[in-house]
Amino acid sequence: MGNNRYGYVRVSSREQREDRQLAAMEALAVPAQNIYIDKQSGKDFVRPSYQKLVGRLERDDLLYIHSIDRLGRNYQEILEQWRVLTKEMGVDIVVLDMPLLDTRRDKDLLGSFLSDVVLQLLSFVAENERKNIRARQAEGIAAAKARGVRFGPPEQELPENFAELHQAWREKKITLRKAAELCGIPKSTFYDAAVRIESSAK
């Protein structure tokens, strides 16, 4: 049986800072060695530090999370993880920015019911926001493409003799391999450039 305090911290990328979450854990006197940090997306729970944390948790341990979206962003998986941790493993969870999500209090039937309802609502909101972000990103990319913005690596500058060799290849005077060789570029690059030029000329 354990009565240890743990903290879980997550940011979505290596560029983001976890300082605010760490400060909250330190203020609660969570030992530094018991704070687990992941720097990756919350789309699923295949995260190295989270898996190590779950492996250490024991019944009656206490887990602090800054907000429900730090636990994850997948609605169904958040609910399943919460069930496993609290019901199967007997771990208490405190979500710092949502006092209703504190499994130490109101352990009667009504308290559990209220916690479950709040959790489901917040989990739904977290996942819905993730979907909205993806939709906005897709809309932004589509709008940028419509304005002529190109994505991906810059196009390679073609040699001066490309047009001549392109025509010779299309007229079957030389092979694709020979045309690419005479241009001094890979065969795939020659072909991709030819297709791109022919598509833009239509």
Per residue in 23-46, pLDDT (tens digit) is 999 999 999 999 999 998 878 888
pLDDT of residue 156: 66
Alpha carbons 142 and 165: distance in angstroms, whole number: 34
For residue 152, what are the CA distances in angstroms to 13, 67, 142, 144, 145? 21, 35, 14, 13, 12
pTM metric for this prediction:
0.59
Is 123 an active-site residue? no
Alpha carbons 46 and 126: distance in angstroms, whole number: 18
Residue 46: CB atoms within 10 Å: 8
Please state the separation of Cα 71 from the chain's center in Å.
12
Report which residue type is found at 184: G
Q: pLDDT tens digits, residue range 119-164?
A: 777 667 766 776 777 787 877 777 777 777 666 555 667 888 898 9
Quick one: which of 77, 118, 89, 123 has its CA closest to 1? 89
Name the catalytic one among 12, 41, 49, 112: 12
Alpha carbons 156 and 181: distance in angstroms, whole number: 16
